[in-house]
Amino acid sequence: MYKVNYKKRAVKYLTKLPINIQESIFASLAELSLTGEHNNAIQLKGSQGYRIRVGEYRVIYSKNETELIILVVKIGARGDVYK
């Protein structure tokens, strides 16, 4: 089982979202933490990160296989998260 850590800017953005969207994001991250894989996860081109699509929002994360840690780097709206 993977441990999920959050960067400060991801937590800040997440707390401003409506509760139902927060619950959806937490459910997706809970699924990810069980095996380290998610059915919507796609590896980003040009970097070593991954992304999960949760409705109109994207969760950008990196994965450390040796220490079993998932670091949520950024959470944002579809068009703004990659900037």
**pLDDT on residue 12:** 96
Question: Residue 30: how many CB atoms within 10 A of its CB?
Answer: 10
Q: What is the pLDDT of residues 4-43, one digit of tens each?
A: 999 999 999 999 999 999 999 999 999 999 988 888 899 9
- Predicted confidence at residue 38, as pLDDT, reads 86
Domain locations in the chain?
Answer: 3-77
State pTM to two decimals.
0.89
pLDDT of residue 78: 87
Confidence of residue 53 (pLDDT cuts 50, 70, 90): very high
C-alpha to C-alpha distance for 38 and 29, rounded to whole angstroms: 9
Among the listed residues 28, 32, 81, 27, the one whose alpha carbon sits nearest the alpha carbon of residue 58: 81
Confidence (pLDDT) at 48: 84
Domain 3-77 has CATH 3.30.450.20: no
Contacts of 77 by beta carbon, 8 Å cutoff, 6+ apart: 56, 57, 58
